[in-house]
Amino acid sequence: MSDKTTKFANLRQGHPAKECIQGASEILGIASQNILTNPDIEYSLFQYGFSRGPPEFTEELAKFLTSEYGDKVSSEDLLVTCGASQGLHLLATSLFTKDNPVFVEELSYYHGTQLFKQLNMKVIPVPLDKDGLVVTELDRLLTKERLQASHVVTDDSRPYWSLAYLIPTFHNPTGICYSADRCKELIAVARKHKILLVCDDVYNLLHYTDSQAPPQRLLAYDHVSDTDFCGSVVSNCTFTKIFGPGLRLGWIETSPPVMKLILNCFVLRSGGCVNQYTARIMAEALRLGLETANMRRLRTLLKRRMEHLHEALKKFLPENCEVYTYSKGGYFVWVMLPENLDAEVLRTNVLNGSDVDFLEGIRCSSDEKCRNAFRLSISVCQEDQIWPGVQRLCEAIKNMTK
């Protein structure tokens, strides 16, 4: 391996590193051996399966999530997907049409917003602050857009005229977590306007504080006991960040009224479970506690990387730059440059001369703003390259401001 390869600091990409996936083969090997050597399971294992997934999986997942979240999760509220992207596509295509507008955070996961654009849905950005989506602005935009979308008809099969796509916990790209008050306000606005809040809850379990549980997911604020409850939130989750993308396994958690709508989708009614075999194997891994142990290892690994990133930024980042928030979980930190600096130009400079890479802010903006910002990721970069990589990056920023 050359010196150039050894010192390269990849702070751009958001997929799990080799170290994050380490041990996956052993876990699945143990679980597969138990399942594949049991002749009583063979028939159900290779059948279409129930639309929501194997009961063994939803029950074990509910136990796992109840423990990890510190909040009761019911197996009846869970449905198997092939991961968060497929889950998002399922929701967008089964509950909505191209006539339904989509509200997104002005800074968001770029492939998420691109999905809606590919479906020819109107994408409307909403400002974001350190507490989450600015609810007063969302309320105003919903009122305005509903008048313009008066042709959109709702009925019992499609009761929502719009959706808002959110990443409330360890947000991509900013790393923020929505405050409790902001979550409550969002639920109230969603009920008022009869829209669905779709949350990419893919980083929730990657929390790095001393707390035993992560911040409450938005779904936990949508109380069934409320007099105006109607089912306003979907939690869209995946094993991608907490096990490995190749598993192609995720889940949707939502309340009974929304689950009933999803289960009416033709794909599920015709094909049954979208990942029957893998879900049944993973159920065994969950039952044996193997994924719980893996989560502890993964959080320890990523916590060290996040701490290194924070320490390096505090030491080297120029005073005229700002870290939006020092993330307490997930993968990402958002850095803001002086207004006259362009992150795309900076990236060209650091790729060519400093062997560092990051994601330009414009990639995260649905209306191509935030040219003077960028996202740093801890997931791929080797732990011992975070500190020197940030140092070289910050030196390049200083050189651009001279």
Helix (H, G, I), strand (E, B) or coil at 346: helix
Distance between CA atoms of 170 and 178, rounded to whole angstroms?
9
Q: What is the CATH number of domain 24-290?
A: 3.40.640.10
Report the alpha-carbon distance of residue 230 to residue 143 in Å, rounded. 19
φ/ψ of residue 220, rounded to 5: -65, -15
pLDDT of amino acid 391? 96
Every domain of the chain and the residues it spans: 3-16+292-401, 24-290
Task: Count CB-CB contacts under 10 A for residue 297.
Answer: 13
pTM tops 0.85, yes or no: yes
Return the DSSP state at 207: B
Q: According to the model, what pLDDT value does residue 2 have?
A: 39
Question: Which segments of the chain have a pLDDT < 50?
Answer: 1-4, 6
Q: How many CB atoms lie within 10 A of CB 167?
A: 28
Residue 309 exposure: Cα atoms within 13 Å on the Cβ side = 32
CA-nearest of 59, 93, 120, 383 to 265 is 93
Q: Residue 228: in which H helix or E strand, if any?
A: none
CB count in 10 Å sphere of residue 212: 9
Distance, CA of 172 to CA of 168 (rounded, Å): 9
The CA distance from 335 to 373, in Å, is: 6
The residue to which tokens 């997104």 are assigned: 104
Superfamily of domain 3-16+292-401: Aspartate Aminotransferase, domain 1 (3.90.1150.10)
DSSP class of residue 329 equals B
Element of type H or E holding 103: strand 102-105
